[in-house]
Amino acid sequence: EVQLVESGGGLVQPGGSLRLSCAASGFRFSSYAMSWVRQAPGKGLECVSTITGSADSTSYADSVKGRFTISRDNSKNTVYLQMNSLRVEDTAVYYCAKGSSTWPTWFDPWGQGTLVTVSS
């Protein structure tokens, strides 16, 4: 069974940093792109970053470019999202999601999400 388990969320002040982790199991991790998708309270979904299976390519939403960094450790079956210079508007549930191939495609499955709250 494919499982994705996020961790690392919490309360942080504006300007602060957090690192999210997503531990994967049940599939050949290095063969699949992974993404982080967030959902602000009461709002829709936004894909903030993706990384290919081999980690040779990444992409970012304009809203987080230059502040967030996605990475992966295929030996640990884990994908990370380093979030710096956090803003109030980054408050959201952050989901980790598996792509269908080494390139970004549709997402299946998703993790349960981890809540990031940016507030003073």
Provide, rounded to whole angstroms, the least separation between the CB of residue 50 and another protein. Answer: 6
Pairing of strands 114-118, 10-12: parallel
Distances from the Cα of 24 to the Cα of 13, 47, 58, 87, 98, angstroms: 29, 19, 19, 28, 9
Contact footprint for another protein (CB under 8 A): 35, 37, 44-47, 50, 57, 59-61, 95, 100, 104-113
Provide, rounded to whole angstroms, the least separation between the CB of residue 90 and another protein. Answer: 17
Provide, rounded to whole angstroms, the least separation between the CB of residue 4 and another protein. Answer: 9
Nearer to another protein, 89 or 108 (CB): 108
Alpha-carbon span 27 to 2, nearest angstrom: 6
